[in-house]
Amino acid sequence: MEFISVIFAHLFTMESEPKISFEDTSIAFSYKSDTELKKAHFIFSLVNHPWISLIATGAVRLGFNLGLPIEGLIKKTVFYHFCGGESIDKTKEALERLAKYSIGTILDYSVEGEKTEEGFENTTIETILTIEKAHQSKDIPFCVFKVTGIASTQLLEKIHSKEDLSSEEKLAYEKVQERVNRICHKAFEYNIPVLVDAEETWIQDPIDTLAYDMMKKYNSEKAIVFNTFQLYRTASLQNLKDAFQKSEGENYHIGAKLVRGAYMEKERESAEKLGYPSPIQPNKEASDKAFNEALEFCMANKHRVSIMCGSHNEYSNQYLTQLMAEHGIANNDERFWFAQLYGMSDNISFNLARAGYRVAKYVPYGPVKSVMPYLLRRAAENTSVAGQSSRELLLIRKELRRRKEKV
Ligand SMILES: Cc1cc2nc3c(=O)[nH]c(=O)nc-3n(C[C@H](O)[C@H](O)[C@H](O)COP(=O)(O)OP(=O)(O)OC[C@H]3O[C@@H](n4cnc5c(N)ncnc54)[C@H](O)[C@@H]3O)c2cc1C
């Protein structure tokens, strides 16, 4: 009897195995000309070497601090590889190119750590413009914002650590709540889901609270507001489960963008410096395990949870396609999204889109100087570990070789 059930289990697993491969670089880079591919090769070769990457990013920081005219150089190299342009209108070309391959664009106004009320208001207005743009375009399935673009980091830190606020700070926080509500209300009005990005742990509690307040208000029919869960944090899987319990009790939908997390070094350094236990998983395997468990949890609760798998990890993306197959979910079910960053992991995005899954890419835009923190994070992410070439570089080389042999 046990033997028969093993055979059945095996057959079921075989049936539900994903049929998608991420190896086809001709699909992955179909939208890139030879010149663009060679440029991508140059960029990834550069950031691949840890010491070159360190010197280059240090020089860029210094250049900006000294007011040197380096914007032109950045535009000619990394900017257009990772960003859509300097304004919404200038992202048109990137948007159309992705749309041609059934990949949606998520316009990401990449201005972080604003400091003035005027700056916060500008970011709010700009984010609302992205929602209006999405309303007019079938190729923009989501919008996104970072709370540090519309609120003071110091204020968020104080709220996170439950410090008393002065009356001025209370007023400032009311304005933050109003801005978040203005963005989410517009998203709700136009039926465009909006993603709230996750940031550093020492400001994340108020970000979560703002996101849940908005979910309660706007997610009664479907997930319009998505919060982000960083699975490199030891607390995140439980936070996801708690958020789900709360939504069950209060009867609204959860939008869950799952990511591993982008601030690991900073988090560990801060924990060490200030002498508190690191909030980050002890190793990569633990982050991977938590990520995949989060996918399983969301899938098991799909009656109430919509997922965005925000990852460049091939296994995690494969695993979601596998879970979808096991649960009998169509590839194009609108509750399940795969998302990558513009200029990265095209092998995943383009192959998934070709197989009929819902795929979107964050397309950052904004003035060159303002998107530098974003670009520096991408440089760090693509630096090789232990002398190995990054996956991105290997794929670009494979495609360059393929094109050369074809000629
Ligand atoms: C669409 C999208 C949206 C995103 N939004 C956010 C966001 O809102 N907030 C945010 O923080 N990030 C965000 N990110 C960035 C994301 O967190 C990084 O791209 C991601 O961490 C890289 O991981 P990966 O899933 O692509 O897989 P991999 O490349 O397999 O994993 C790398 C990640 O694993 C984790 N890791 C690596 N080594 C260790 C270790 N020793 N111990 C513990 N963990 C380890 C780190 O998080 C590291 O970045 C987003 C990414 C995408 C694609």
> Following DSSP, what letter does each residue of 282-330 receive, concatenated?
SSHHHHHHHHHHHHHHHHHTTTTEEEEEE---HHHHHHHHHHHHHTT--
Facing residues of 85 across strands?
365
Q: For residue 83, what pLDDT is reported?
A: 95
**What residue's CA is closest to ligand 1, atom 39?**
284
Q: How far apart are CA 398 and CA 61, in angstroms?
A: 33
**Phi then psi dihedrals of residue 110, to 5 deg:** -90, 55
Which residue's C-alpha comes closest to atom 44 of ligand 1? 284
* Interval between CA 74 and ligand 1 midpoint (Å): 24
- Give nearest CA residue, ligand 1 atom 25: 311
298-323-145 Cα angle (round to 5): 45
- Give the Å distance between the CA of 226 and the centre of ligand 1: 17
* Confidence at residue 376, expressed as pLDDT on a 0 to 100 scale: 84
Per-residue confidence (pLDDT) for residue 390, from 0 to 100? 82
Average pLDDT, the chain: 91
Q: Supply the DSSP symbol for 85.
A: B
pLDDT tens profile 189-207? 999 999 999 999 999 999 9
- What is the signed CA dihedral for 315, 84, 44, 30, rounded to 10 degrees? 70
User: What are the pLDDT digits (tens) for 41-91?
Assistant: 998 888 888 777 777 778 878 887 878 878 888 888 889 999 999 999 999
Please list, in sequence order, all residues whose beta carbon lies within 8 angstroms of the beta carbon of residue 25, skipping any fewer than 6 positions away: 347, 395, 396, 398, 399, 402
Among the listed ranges 44-53, 314-323, 335-344, 377-386, which one has the minimum average pLDDT value?
377-386
Distance (Å, whole) CA 91 – CA 106: 11
Among 50-64, 99-113, 281-295, the range of highest mean pLDDT:
281-295
- Tokens 């399935």 identify what position? 141
- The answer on pLDDT for 113 being more than 80 is no
Interacting residues of 143 by C-beta distance below 8 A, sequence separation 6+: 106, 107, 127, 130, 131, 134, 183, 187, 192, 193, 194, 195
Query: Could you tell me the distance, in angstroms and rounded to a whole number, from the CA of residue 262 to the centre of ligand 1?
Result: 5
**Does the structure show a pLDDT above 80 at 6?**
no
Q: Which residues contact 284 (CB under 8 A, 6 or more apart)?
A: none
The CA-based dihedral angle spanning residues 310, 314, 315, 319, taken in that order and rounded to the nearest 10 degrees: 60
Interval between CA 374 and ligand 1 midpoint (Å) = 13
Report pLDDT for 18: 54
Degrees (nearest 5) of the Cα angle 55, 63, 340?
Answer: 65
pLDDT at 158: 98
Lining residues, ligand 1, CB within 6 Å:
197-198, 228, 230, 232, 259-264, 280-281, 283-284, 287, 310-313, 339-341, 362
Of all protein residues, the one whose alpha carbon is nearest to atom 38 of ligand 1 is 284
Kindly give the distance from the C-alpha atom of residue 246 to the centroid of ligand 1, in angstroms, as a whole number.
Answer: 26
- Quick one: pLDDT at residue 65? 80
Q: What is the pLDDT of residues 237-273, one digit of tens each?
A: 999 999 999 999 999 999 999 999 999 999 999 999 9
How far, in Å, is the centroid of ligand 1 from the Cα of 404? 33
pLDDT given at position 17: 54
* pTM score, whole prediction: 0.92
The CA distance from 168 to 261, in Å, is: 33
Atom index in ligand 1 nearest the CA of residue 287 equals 44
Instruction: Return the minimum-mean-pLDDT range out of 11-25, 216-230, 253-267.
Output: 11-25
In ligand 1, the atom with minimum distance to the C-alpha of 280 is 43
Measured in Å, residue 111 CA sits from the centre of ligand 1 at: 20
